[in-house]
């Protein structure tokens, strides 16, 4: 059974390169905020309300953790087998639904607006993760995971390829910005929004993280390998900090790998956070965006770090 570190510094926080030392706080440790999920995903911070929302996909619900009280309560159930979440620049919740095979926005009155569910009459597969750029455009991945069985959605035959899409700031039909990616999963922008990182979670021979340059017109170019995860690496959800480092949910049931990996802007591993469970996704939050929240298998963890999450992440 997992137990918090009894003394500082927490041995679960490991420097793989001397450059990571500046991001460690010697007197901050990994905290478990909640356990009792089946598969935790899609954490998103609401600073104005001082709470965090995240998805518990197989239980078809979203949960809310309150910063002031530490209490966890249901937020939305059923959730449409919600997966990834983010906020737009008006503060509204944007959610990827496996069950509905769509991307939705939660309005101020709690109603849902469908942003994307089909293209030319063909349904999306199972939108997985989503980010919003500063211009208001919405970017999301659409792999097959939610339609591959009945655990995180409902089994169905795909009607579209596995793509990465962009919804223009003024809405409209999603446009394909990246295709030919096997299992597009987590994604995020660099702190200056010049690069979009995309996790290819079914890549061959190994899983990988790709980098693409973002054009002024919203197009992507110069797709390249950023991280080769190797035979055992399993990147999932990703977020950038203000220095351009990439914080990546990681692991596949191996005690040696489960947790978070941190890569510098050149793609070199510089640090890791060991967890007793695979980390599926993460986000920065707290008043100063210096608290890393980690949705990991059955639980939600947090760690204060000596950096800040990039705005919009």
pLDDT reported for residue 37: 98
Q: Other C-beta atoms within 10 Å of 25: how many?
A: 15
Top pLDDT among 232 and 16 is at 16
**Per-residue pLDDT tens digits for 243-266:** 999 999 999 866 778 999 999 999
Can you tell me the mean pLDDT for 142-154? 97
CATH 2.120.10.30 given to domain 13-304: yes
pTM over 0.95: yes
236 is in an annotated binding site: yes
Measure the CA–CA gap between 162 and 170, rounded to whole angstroms.
24
158, 123 contact by CB (below 8 A): no
41 is in an annotated binding site: yes
**Per-residue pLDDT tens digits for 172-226:** 999 999 999 999 999 999 999 999 999 999 999 999 999 999 999 999 999 999 9
Measure the CA–CA gap between 140 and 166, rounded to whole angstroms.
7
Measure the CA–CA gap between 124 and 144, rounded to whole angstroms.
9
Measure the CA–CA gap between 124 and 126, rounded to whole angstroms.
6
117 is in an annotated binding site: no
Structure tokens at 99: 């069950």
Residue with tokens 């518990």: 56
Q: Which of 10, 236, 241, 258 is catalytic?
A: 236
Residue with tokens 């049931």: 253
185 is in an annotated binding site: yes
Catalytic residue list contains 243? no
290 is in an annotated binding site: no
**Per-residue pLDDT tens digits for 99-137:** 999 999 999 999 999 999 999 999 999 999 999 999 999
What ranges do the domains of the chain cover? 13-304
What are the backbone angles phi and psi of residue 224, rounded to the nearest 5°? -150, 160
């Amino acid at each position: 059974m997992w137990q918090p570190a009894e003394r500082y510094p927490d041995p679960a926080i490991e420097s793989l390169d001397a450059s990571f030392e500046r991001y460690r706080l010697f007197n901050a440790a990994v905290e478990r905020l909640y356990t009792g999920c089946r598969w935790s995903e899609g954490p998103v911070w609401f600073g104005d309300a001082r709470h965090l929302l995240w998805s518990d996909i197989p239980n078809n619900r979203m949960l809310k953790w309150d910063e002031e009280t530490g209490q966890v309560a249901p937020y939305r159930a059923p959730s449409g087998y919600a997966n990834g979440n983010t906020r737009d620049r008006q503060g509204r919740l944007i959610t990827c639904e496996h069950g509905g095979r769509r991307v939705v926005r939660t309005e101020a009155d709690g109603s849902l607006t469908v942003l994307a569910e089909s293209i030319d009459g063909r349904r999306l597969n199972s939108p997985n993760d989503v980010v919003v750029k500063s211009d208001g455009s919405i970017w999301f991945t659409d792999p097959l995971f939610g339609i591959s069985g009945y655990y995180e959605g409902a089994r169905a035959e795909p009607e579209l390829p596995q793509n990465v899409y962009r919804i223009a700031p003024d809405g409209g039909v999603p446009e394909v910005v990246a295709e030919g990616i096997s299992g597009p999963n987590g994604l995020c922008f660099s702190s200056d929004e010049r690069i979009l990182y995309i996790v290819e979670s079914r890549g061959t021979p190994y899983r990988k993280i790709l980098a693409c340059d973002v054009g002024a017109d919203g197009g992507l170019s110069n797709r390249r390998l950023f991280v080769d995860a190797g035979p055992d690496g399993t990147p999932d959800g990703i977020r950038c900090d203000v220095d351009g480092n990439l914080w990546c949910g990681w692991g596949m049931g191996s005690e040696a790998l489960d947790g978070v990996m941190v890569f510098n802007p050149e793609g070199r591993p510089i640090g890791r956070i060991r967890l007793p469970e695979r980390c599926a996704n993460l986000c920065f939050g707290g008043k100063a965006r210096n608290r890393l929240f980690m949705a990991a298998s059955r639980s939600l963890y947090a760690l204060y770090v000596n950096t800040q999450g990039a705005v919009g992440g």
